[in-house]
Chains A and B, each alone.
Chain A
Amino acid sequence: MNLTLKVWRQKNAQTKGAFVTYKAEGISPDMSFLEMLDVVNESLIHKGDEPIHFDHDCREGICGMCSLYINGRPHGPKDAITTCQLHMRSFHDGEIIVIEPWRAAAFPVIKDLAVDRSAFDRIQQAGGFISVNTGVTIDANAILVPKVIADEAFNSATCIGCGACVAACKNASAMLFVSAKVSQLGMLPQGQPERWSRVQAMVAQMDAEGFGNCTNTGACEAECPKEIQMTNISRMTNDYFSAKLFREEHVHDHASSGE
């Protein structure tokens, strides 16, 4: 296969970027999308040019490192997979492929196609945990979790933090990501003691990071490689208003955490 790539190149966060066109020739349909980029990069290095920079690591769809906005869709044209799981047989010979980085104010470009997603880490640091120190001696089976709840919590927990939801959302909203974590911990019995303070802290941090707001278009859900449901957003909203409006004892939870 021979393809034409239009790739966003940007030296670093401070400089402006632009599209550069490359030819990708002799591409095998069995290659993954990232392997196709590897081939292009090898030829660039041979010419003494700088390779196209993109984030990637596990290449089996679980680490969440790879990104890429391919022909108008995060992680490319197929549903429920990451870019590293996308194969070139999903494209046709001679196709023009436009590759852009995730675009969001909260995800500044680091170089070329790689963006800084540390905003996600800061949201998690604000409250995406259960406060237990190492060394708990409660037997694991002393905490009963109904299977349906465990399964539902697991569905929320499958988020790989890739940011495709933000990339797909027309408002660059991070609510699917944040709500998945809030839901996972909010549903499990272990997460109850901090349920109301957690949701307040995480939402406040999400807002501070400069993500857009949710307008329920559902693009996030459609593009999530792990098929996380928008139901999570409603769960988060529920918990948030419950905490803010009806839980008197938690009203100052968030204020006291220094925000």
Chain B
Amino acid sequence: MSEFKQTFNSSLGKKLIMALTGLFLCTFLIVHLGGNLLLFSNDEGYGFNLYANFLTHFPPIEVVAYLLYLCILVHALYALILTIKNRKARPIRYTDVNKSKASWSSKNMGLLGSILFLFIVIHMSDFWYSYKFSHKVGFKEYRTDLATNKTTSVDYVPSSPDFEKSVTTENNFEVIRVKDLHARVASSFSNLLYVIFYVIAMGTLSFHMLHGFQSSFRTLGWVHRKYTPIVTFIGTWLFAVIIPIGFAAMPVVYYIESLR
């Protein structure tokens, strides 16, 4: 076995892969939340749709995106491999429930991760796949008066099915035609079951992060009397509280909006 393979096939190596992919996914959460905050701007989806278009069409971002998808798959795959190995390490289970002190989330990362994976599949098929590979998503045309900087929007139906985006200037009006993911989001989030599913998924994310973030630092061997409390603080407040709440707020707010 080559040295490289041996390293990453060892127990510690597999842990390292989990930690590195996990941390990469954590950084993505920040970016994703940051971008999605555009959903809260009251601009008929102007900012959000442009942002979605940018993400899917700017080549470097696209590379990173595919790296991200790979990470999700590797993270899930290694979780599966490790779980199977760990189960094999105790072929006969205890009869009594384990009462050793350990946090609930740390003991249920597999369950939490499975829910999240299911969520990611549904989430991506609904938005990412529809957006990129189907024609289910409509278009919007934004006209911005360059003199007053006011934007109005109308639905737009492209002549060619391959149409993606256009930016033109017509008589002091900037005309942007772009896929209207925002409308898709609004319609999805008007469905109560869908909203509940999202909120549950974000709760799951919270618990997954509560253990996962600080755990990945341990796995990397980055434990320090001074810095570990900071890592735990960030893992708890940013990743397990602020980010899940931020994401969960979107379906909730849109659902409430849809009721009006």
Enumerate chain A interface residues (CB-CB to B < 8 A).
19, 69, 71-74, 77, 98, 100, 103-106, 168, 170-173, 175, 203-204, 206-207, 210-219, 222-223, 230-231, 233-241, 244-245, 251-252, 255
Q: Does B196 contact A (CB under 8 A)?
A: no
- A206 CA to B13 CA, complexed, in Å: 13
Q: A105-B88, A218-B103, A231-B223 are in contact. Are A168 and B10 (CB under 8 A)?
A: no
Instruction: List residues of B (84-138) whose CB comes within 8 Å of A's CBs.
Output: 85-86, 88-103, 106-107, 109
> Is B98 touching A219 in the complex (CB atoms < 8 A)?
yes
- A103 CA to B100 CA, complexed, in Å: 14
A241: B residues at CB distance < 8 A = 7, 12, 16, 220-221
Closest Cβ neighbor of A207 among chain B residues: B11
Q: Does B162 contact A (CB under 8 A)?
A: no
- Top-5 shortest CB links A-B: A212-B89, A238-B221, A171-B86, A237-B221, A234-B223
B219: A residues at CB distance < 8 A = 214, 216, 237
Interface string of B220-241 (1 = CB under 8 A from A): 1111000000000000000000
> Is A234 touching B222 in the complex (CB atoms < 8 A)?
yes
Closest Cβ neighbor of A244 among chain B residues: B7
Enumerate chain B interface residues (CB-CB to A < 8 A).
3, 7, 10-16, 82, 85-86, 88-103, 106-107, 109, 211, 214-215, 218-223
Minimum C-beta distance from A206 to chain B (A): 7
- A222 CA to B89 CA, complexed, in Å: 20
> Is B100 touching A74 in the complex (CB atoms < 8 A)?
yes
B86: A residues at CB distance < 8 A = 170-173, 212-213, 215
Minimum C-beta distance from A76 to chain B (A): 10
A173: B residues at CB distance < 8 A = 11, 86, 89
Closest Cβ neighbor of A17 among chain B residues: B92
Minimum C-beta distance from B93 to chain A (A): 7
Q: A218-B101, A222-B101, A233-B218 are in contact. Are A100 and B94 (CB under 8 A)?
A: yes
- A175 CA to B10 CA, complexed, in Å: 13
A-B contact pairs, 20 of them (CB 8 A): A69-B96, A98-B95, A98-B96, A103-B94, A105-B89, A172-B89, A175-B11, A203-B12, A207-B11, A210-B88, A212-B89, A213-B11, A217-B103, A219-B98, A222-B102, A231-B223, A234-B218, A239-B221, A244-B13, A255-B3
- A69 CA to B103 CA, complexed, in Å: 20
A211: B residues at CB distance < 8 A = 11, 89
B103: A residues at CB distance < 8 A = 217-218
Closest Cβ neighbor of A71 among chain B residues: B96
Q: A203-B10, A234-B218 are in contact. Are A69 and B101 (CB under 8 A)?
A: no
A71: B residues at CB distance < 8 A = 96, 99
> Is B10 touching A204 in the complex (CB atoms < 8 A)?
yes
B94: A residues at CB distance < 8 A = 69, 72, 100, 103
* Contact pick for A237, options B96, B102, B220, CB 8 Å: B220
B99: A residues at CB distance < 8 A = 71-73, 77
Minimum C-beta distance from B94 to chain A (A): 6
> Is A210 touching B218 in the complex (CB atoms < 8 A)?
no
B89: A residues at CB distance < 8 A = 104-106, 171-173, 210-213
